[in-house]
Amino acid sequence: MSYCLNPSCPKPVNHPKSKLCQACGAKLLLHGRYHLVKGLGKGGFGATFLAADLALPGRPLCVIKQLRPNTDNPNFLSMARELFEREARTLGRIGNHPKIPRLLDYFEDRNQFYLIQEFVEGNNLQQEVKKIGVLNEAKARQVLKELLVILRDIHAQKVIHRDIKPANIIRREIDDQLVLIDFGVVKNQVDNISAAGSNQTAFTAFAVGTPGFAPPEQLAMRPVYASDVYALGVTCMYLMTGKAPKNMDCDPITGDIDWFKYVDVSDSFAEILTKMLEVAVKSRYKSAEEVLQVLDLENHVDSLSNSMLSFPTANEPPSTLANRSRMAYSRRDTTSSSKGDIRMSRQTGRMAYTSRYSRNAAQTSASSASFSQAAKNPPKPAKISAEEVLKAYSSGRKDFGLKDMTMQDLQKADLSESKFHDSKLIRVNFQGADLNKTSFTSCDMRQAMLRNADLTRALFNAANLEDVDLRGANLSYVNFRDTKLKGANLCGANLSNTNLTKKQLEEVKTNWMTIMPSGKRGFW
């Protein structure tokens, strides 16, 4: 069908081949090239449409945003035009980000203002929750981290989104990555005009975000970077509960949302979300970067704690780990409760150290021949099944070094932050798996399937990735030092901020959808 752009048209839907609207007589082809297919939504000052660009081969789809100032006041129109152009410049500046739709064009036509943006195919997070259900804590953390990185980048450009919510976050179908949309025409620079003392207050009734997701300072037209942090916290709350803020109880005195009773989360994650949702700005995280640092520090502490415990083998039951954990904590508590041990003299400490050193020196001397023999005959990887890996990981184990998982099926598995160093992973299926911050150092991964996998900040140092399928995978910030990549398929993959060399890129397959290390799509 063809859609009419006339705001006052009584029947905007027309026959696909019509050149003029049958209801109002307006031209249906915008700017001589854009054929509007359907309306996507209305709100505030504008409307959004899906259109085909007839001037390009293949007639690719794009999104058209129309600003509709409902007035003939020349001062108002002048202000709208200034805001429109400023918004277009902002989108042009941040539109090079791989997780933000690109600005393709902007112009004025018949006293209406238009922004043409890249069309992102996929479902938004609100649709996902309604279709699939709520997220668990692990998935919510993953979404939070991915969106915090996007927010950090746009805040660095001095832009406040002001309308973070599930409906404005699309999971891109081609690579399963999250994309932030809807940088509305009047959302970024309204405050500057009001601060300048303008008597045009029509804008103040809009551009304040979505009720329930926008914090108090934003509703008072005083948004800050922390306003986006608050909205992202509410978004995470919705993803884990399926409930909008308006459908939850809140404290009548503090205004805090009583969301804990709707979801089961760890104390550490609840603490992070609580601080994101603080009503007072001074008590809230000030930036996306600050939240990211807290999450990274939490992961570091967890990894440190795990490294102090002895993990069971893949065949040991979860109860074994629980017993060992209790023993470790018991020993720690016993040691901590002994004040006499804490006050041990330095002399006693030196004596204990000397005794340990003597024993270790003897053991080292006795075992030197064994180390020499092991260097000549390195141990073979021990076979382990996909079921054993998943069972061990769910019990807390993350070290799967020196294992043979050839041809095992681990698609869509959550194995983030695991260690597979020196393992044999030939033709293993990791399609769609969460392998964020995972180490594959010195692994043999020839012909492995890693399509659409999340490999953010993974390590492939000295690994063999020949003929690996990495189509659509998120490889941002990945370390490819000394990695063999001959024949690897990287079409549609995100390679932003990786250390891939030109020589390595010459050995792999890429296409125009591949995001190169420079951040540009399809170009080095």
Domains and CATH numbers, the chain: 2-118 (3.30.200.20), 122-188+208-304 (1.10.510.10), 311-318+380-524 (2.160.20.80)
**CA dist list (Å): 156 to 161, 168, 289, 363:** 12, 20, 10, 55
Instruction: State the pLDDT confidence band at 524, using cuts at 50, 70 and 90.
Output: low
For residue 22, give the 3-state DSSP assignment. Answer: coil
Tell me: pLDDT of 324 over 60. Answer: no
CA separation for the pair 475, 478 (Å, rounded) = 5
Cβ proximity of 470 and 449 under 8 Å = no
Instruction: State the pLDDT confidence band at 520, using cuts at 50, 70 and 90.
Output: confident
Q: Which of 53, 105, 163, 341 is catalytic?
A: 163
pLDDT for 368 equals 46
Tokens linked to 341? 């041990």
Tokens linked to 503? 């020589």
pLDDT for 99 equals 93
pLDDT for 248 equals 86
* Most distant CA pair in the chain, distance: 97
CA separation for the pair 159, 152 (Å, rounded) = 10
The residues with which 479 forms a beta bridge, in sequence order, are: 459
pLDDT for 379 equals 77
Give the distance, in angstroms, between the CA of residue 40 and the centroid of all CA atoms in the same chain: 25
CA separation for the pair 46, 65 (Å, rounded) = 7
Structure-model confidence comparison of residues 90 and 278, the more confident one: 278
Query: DSSP readout, 416-444?
Result: TT-B-TT-B-TT-B-TT-B-TT-B-TT-B
pLDDT for 150 equals 95
Q: Report the sign of the C-alpha dihedral through residues 175, 176, 177, 178, in that order.
A: positive
- 304-314 per-position pLDDT tens digit: 555 554 444 44
pLDDT for 180 equals 94
Nearest to 188 by CA among 170, 202, 209: 209
Structure-model confidence comparison of residues 169 and 299, the more confident one: 169
pLDDT for 523 equals 56
Q: What angle do CA 368, 372, 374 make, to 5 degrees?
A: 115
Least trusted range by pLDDT, from 308-317, 429-438, 466-475, 497-506:
308-317
Sheet holding 29-30, edge to edge: 29-30, 34-43, 46-53, 61-67, 112-118, 103-109
Mean pLDDT estimate for the chain: 80
Provide the H-helix boundaries in 109-224. Answer: 125-132, 137-156, 190-195, 216-219
Q: What are phi and psi of 413, to 5 degrees?
A: -75, 145
- Give yes or no: 175 in active site: no
pLDDT-above-70 percentage for the chain:
77
pLDDT for 298 equals 75
Q: What are phi and psi of 357, to 5 degrees?
A: -60, -40
**CA dist list (Å): 120 to 8, 47, 59, 116, 179:** 28, 17, 15, 12, 8
Nearest to 31 by CA among 117, 112, 88: 112
- 40-74 per-position pLDDT tens digit: 887 656 788 999 999 999 999 999 988 876 667 77
pLDDT for 256 equals 76
Which amino acid is it at 270? Answer: A
Tokens linked to 99? 């997780």
pLDDT for 306 equals 54
Q: State the residue for tokens 């043999």.
A: 444
Q: What are phi and psi of 436, to 5 degrees?
A: -60, 130
Nearest to 100 by CA among 144, 56, 140, 63: 63
Cβ proximity of 115 and 91 under 8 Å = yes
Average pLDDT over residues 209-234: 90
For residue 489, give the 3-state DSSP assignment. Answer: strand
Least trusted range by pLDDT, from 134-148, 254-268, 273-287, 299-313:
299-313
pLDDT for 303 equals 56
Cβ proximity of 231 and 165 under 8 Å = yes
CA separation for the pair 426, 158 (Å, rounded) = 46
Tell me: pLDDT of 432 over 50. Answer: yes
Compute the half-sphere exposure of residue 426: CA atoms within 13 Å on the CB side of its CA. 6
Going by their DSSP bridges, the two strands 103-109 and 122-124 should be labelled as unpaired
Nearest to 68 by CA among 99, 97, 45: 45
Q: Count CB atoms within 10 A of the CB of residue 160.
A: 22
pLDDT for 109 equals 83
Average pLDDT over residues 315-322: 46
Instruction: State the pLDDT confidence band at 200, using cuts at 50, 70 and 90.
Output: very low
Torsion angle of C-alpha atoms 295, 298, 304, 306, degrees rounded to 10: -100
CA separation for the pair 493, 450 (Å, rounded) = 11
Radius of gyration (C-alpha) of the chain in whole angstroms = 28
pLDDT for 304 equals 52
Tokens linked to 519? 């951040």
